[in-house]
Amino acid sequence: MTDIFEFKTRVMPVVVLEDAESAVPMAEALLEGGIDAVEITLRHRCALDAIARVSARVAGMCVGAGTVTRAEDFGRVAEAGARFALSPGLTPALAQAARAAAIPFIPGVMTPSEIAAAREHGYLLLKLFPAAQAGGVEMLKALASPFADVRFCPTGGVSAKNLKDYLRQPNVALVGGSWLTPADALKSRDWSRIVTLAREASAIAGG
């Protein structure tokens, strides 16, 4: 991992929460399973509350905000306590807002031109999204030579089945995925299942 991100995990859960009350036990379950970072997406109105709760109450968990698509989002997520942000894309306005908020940012890319543009803004850790549709592991292999200084966080279509293949790529710093916090497990508050999924992913990443 790059030094500006305060976590060690190479597997980052991408979480859509519909109930802020679930945020703390969810984060605690992930941490118990060996994962010390989580991306809570801004896809539901409770997201900022969820980020604030994890930031304040789960020591050891580095909480980030995902689906940051508007410049004004950066101030809101930073105020809530997010320690980093991710976006499915990148615009000049997003880059400017990220710098102003002084929050580490992983912008999304899908094509070589987008990677080149992100690098011009100073970003060398990028979210390949949606990874499966972009070409997956084969795309990462193809990008390795022309963008030797860039590392990626592939997200979208990553699962326990292909996790090891992604993490084997030298230009992959970490991966993002929603399989670690399934919607039905969140709804039923099945925290033991999330602990198990996190442990399995941590074991694969560690191996």
Residue closest to 166 by CA, chosen among 180, 146, 152, 178:
152
Cα 175 to Cα 192: distance, rounded to the nearest angstrom = 22
Task: Give dist(CA 37, CA 12) in Å, integer.
Answer: 6
141 is catalytic: no
Within 68-147, strands assigned E span 85-86, 105-106, 108-109, 125-128
> CB–CB of 126/150 below 8 Å?
yes
pLDDT, one tens digit per residue, over 145-199 is: 999 999 999 999 999 999 999 999 999 999 999 999 999 999 999 999 999 999 9
Written as one letter, the residue type at 56 is A
Ramachandran sector of residue 136 (left: φ over 0; alpha: ψ -120 to 50; beta: rest): left
39 is catalytic: yes
Q: What is the mean pLDDT of the chain?
A: 96
Q: Residues 86-101: pLDDT tens digits?
A: 999 999 999 999 999 9
Catalytic residue among 18, 21, 32, 39: 39
Measured from the Cβ of residue 100, the count of other Cβ atoms closer than 10 Å reads 12
Q: Which amino acid is at 104?
A: P
| Rounded (to 5) percent helix, strand, coil in the chain | 45, 15, 40
Task: Domains for the chain: give ranges and CATH numbers.
Answer: 11-206 (3.20.20.70)
Q: What is the pLDDT of residue 1?
A: 53
Q: What is the pTM of this model?
A: 0.96
Strand ranges of the sheet holding 125-128, from the earlier edge strand across to the other edge: 108-109, 125-128, 151-152
Write the pLDDT tens digit of every residue in 118-149: 999 999 999 999 999 999 999 999 999 999 99
Out of 6, 127, 161, 164, which one is annotated catalytic?
127
Tens of pLDDT, residue by residue over 11-20, are 999 999 999 9
